Structure 1
């Protein structure tokens, strides 16, 4: 006796995996991983790229004011007074037509940098106002943007008879110097360089704290 077994044929159709399907399957996992990294604060771009650039460009408000002060003073180099000490700095600061104006020039530059003080028509007055604010240093530690006062005969007991603004401090051949800008210097706004501890220098004061 013969028994015939008939097996049903099962056909399985395999569809090739499309590239679009693959990307849609993997995509959410990567996206989810990135969002988790950002939520933890581990974004490499934010921390090392953008952060570093921003830090490099940022400067303090004090530095910005000092630069503004120096730029105001430098922009006037070469300006000459008129007859009878006539000058625009005295006119703007006091309303007078002319007088000895080195302190008026320093006061004007301070105003251009957004400072209310120092503001005086006397070289000694500039030093006194800075001393009252606790910003007078005496004959040491000159810095860019400082007021510097002079007594040309070297007598420190006399009031200052000239004042300027320190533009820079530098060393040359092992010695330290300052370059300063002042008004009413040979009847003009001039730039001068001398040793930082020259006997004519009475002292330095920080105009911007």
Structure 2
């Protein structure tokens, strides 16, 4: 039922409940006035509820990927050390032809896919950290550590060819908070120094 239809029905009910003799103190507002006020308030609320928030409407691809990653914190291998679990198997599906194995690159590939910006020229995702870094360098998305361009929320953070995560936030002192798949056998939040504790670079998703 539309908002207008609801307001019309409220007006009808108010009219039916209105006493035949107005209150002498004038405290009771006429039904039409009450309904109009209610309609105005409800219409404003309903319209606001239907509109996307400014933050959601203006999110970058990296921020959307980060939002996907944040919902996965705590996902763990079953059993620990197996590089596998039902949810981790879903991360693998974001890559082309990847099997059970170290899954930090699977995780960021999955997050990017959820954001609508899959990794790779063909959106194939990557099963290795080195492949992510090479693609980023080929396509102008690579920001070497120490280049003077600070990372931002939603960037991928890369450590050589062996590990990758996603930046969640950066403190004023430069400390970098991340979400990393395959960290202590789980999707885990970590905090690193301003140099990323030896990070080699960052990937800007968009």
User: What TM-score do the two structures reach when normalised by structure 2?
Assistant: 0.62
The match for 2:107 is: 105
| Equivalent in 139, 142, 148 of residue 136 of structure 1 | 142
Q: Distance in 1 between matches of 2:140 and 2:65?
A: 20
Which segments of 5 or more consecutive residues in structure 2 lack a partner in the other structure?
1-47
Q: 2:157 aligns with which of 133, 136, 148?
A: 148
Please say if residues 62 and 204 of structure 2, whose CA atoms lie closer than 8 Å, have aligned partners that are also in contact. Answer: no
Cα separation, 2, equivalents of 1:161 and 1:62: 33
Q: What is the distance in 1 between the residues matched to 2:68 and 2:91?
A: 16
How far off its partner does 1:170 sit?
1.2
Q: 2:187 aligns with which of 172, 186, 189?
A: 189
Q: CA RMSD in A?
A: 2.3
SS in 2 for 1:114: coil
1:126 counterpart = 2:132: yes
Where in structure 1 are there 5+ consecutive unaligned residues?
A: 1-52, 152-159
- Count of equivalent residues: 142
Measured after TM superposition, the shift of residue 186 of structure 1 is 0.6
In the alignment, what sits opposite 1:206? 204
| Superimposed CA distance per residue, residues 24-79 of structure 1 (whole angstroms, 9 cap, x where no aligned partner) | xxxxxxxxxxxxxxxxxxxxxxxxxxxxx9xxx64696624333211100100000
Deviations 1:163-209 (A, max 9, x none): 000111112xxx3111011100011000101112144211112012x
Runs (4+) of structure 1 moved beyond 4 Å? 57-62, 94-97
TM-superposition CA deviations, 1:110-145 (whole Å, max 9, x none): 000001324211111111111111110100421111
**Separation of aligned partners in 2, 1:132 and 1:90:** 24
Q: Which moves more between the two structures, 187-196 or 66-75? A: 66-75
Q: Secondary structure at the match of 2:151?
A: coil
Query: d(CA) in 2 for partners of 1:79 and 1:148?
Result: 20
Native 8 Å contact 2:92 2:106 kept in 1: no
1:37 equivalent in structure 2: none
Q: What TM-score, normalized to structure 1?
A: 0.61
